[in-house]
Amino acid sequence: MGIILRTKDLTKKYDDKTVVDNLNLEINEGEIFGLLGPNGAGKSTTMNMICNLIRPTLGSVEIMGKDLKKNKKELISKLGYIPQELAIHENLKAWENVELFTSLYKIKGSDLKKRIDESLDYVGLSERKNDYAKNFSGGMKRRLNIACAIGHHPDLLIFDEPTVGIDPQSRNFILDKIKESNKKGATVIYTSHYMEEVEAICDRIAIMDNGKLIAIGTSEELKKLVVDDIDSITLEEVFLTLTGKKLRDY
């Protein structure tokens, strides 16, 4: 398997403030890649640059070996982005939301209908397809958010804090679906404030702080950066040691 995504000296500045600072990442095809960092670390800004929602100040993003800046139309269709803030329309029905986003990729007719049904079935909302999104619970809105991002069958799924503020049952459902998508061939980038989620599903983990890459590796490799006996330390303690900060406030 090759490298599906590479960032080269990726940098974002706002006036004199550097939010992402010369970030160099390589994400392998077929893996679930975790991105950890405290608030303000630059995670969401990085995701937005990868998705071409904001432009880098310096550096580049490559997807499948091609420069994103030079191949926007082709490469954006390879991405499925599930943002931290819900990107659904409350006054549309569930199926109408999925139709709206899937049709942006020039999918039409019977193929579009099939994709809508598949996406809603995948997130367990088939029986609620005719209900308005405004009547959904927080967990159901999160699931609809995912359905809207997968209808065009992306190769790379980017989840930015997808389990914030939802119940444990919905959280477990989403994590199971992420693993299922990965088994079906999708590469996943996953950011979260919940260390247990990242440790449970991610093959490798990168830790960011103040816009910089602090460390990268498997859970075991990150622990070995701090202690020899990896059973004596948690990943949360590793994070605190490397950054001097907690991942989230309890």
Q: How far apart are the first and last CA of the chain?
A: 39
204 within some domain:
yes
235 within some domain:
yes
What are the pLDDT digits (tens) for 78-135? 999 998 889 999 999 999 999 999 999 999 999 999 999 999 999 999 999 999 999 9
Number of domains comprising the chain: 1
Element (H, E) at 243: helix 235-243
**Whole-angstrom Cα distance, residue 127 to residue 99?**
16
pLDDT confidence of residue 229: 87
106 within some domain:
no
85 within some domain:
no
| Over residues 195-215, mean pLDDT | 94
At 239, which CATH number? 3.40.50.300
183 within some domain:
no
Q: Which domain holds residue 34?
A: 1-78+191-250
pLDDT confidence of residue 245: 83
pLDDT confidence of residue 20: 97
127 within some domain:
no
What are the pLDDT digits (tens) for 156-196? 999 998 988 888 888 899 999 999 999 999 999 999 888 88
Strand 66-67 relative to strand 212-217, pairing:
unpaired
**Whole-angstrom Cα distance, residue 178 to residue 201?**
8
Q: Give the closest residue to 36 by CA, choosing from 250, 185, 242, 187.
A: 242
14 within some domain:
yes
pLDDT band for 1, please (50, 70, 90 cuts).
Answer: low
**Whole-angstrom Cα distance, residue 146 to residue 78?**
15
Element (H, E) at 75: helix 72-76
Q: What is residue 142's three-state secondary structure?
A: helix
What number of H helices and E strands is found in the chain?
9, 10
Tell me the pTM. Answer: 0.92
53 within some domain:
yes
Beta bridge partners of residue 28, listed in sequence order: 3
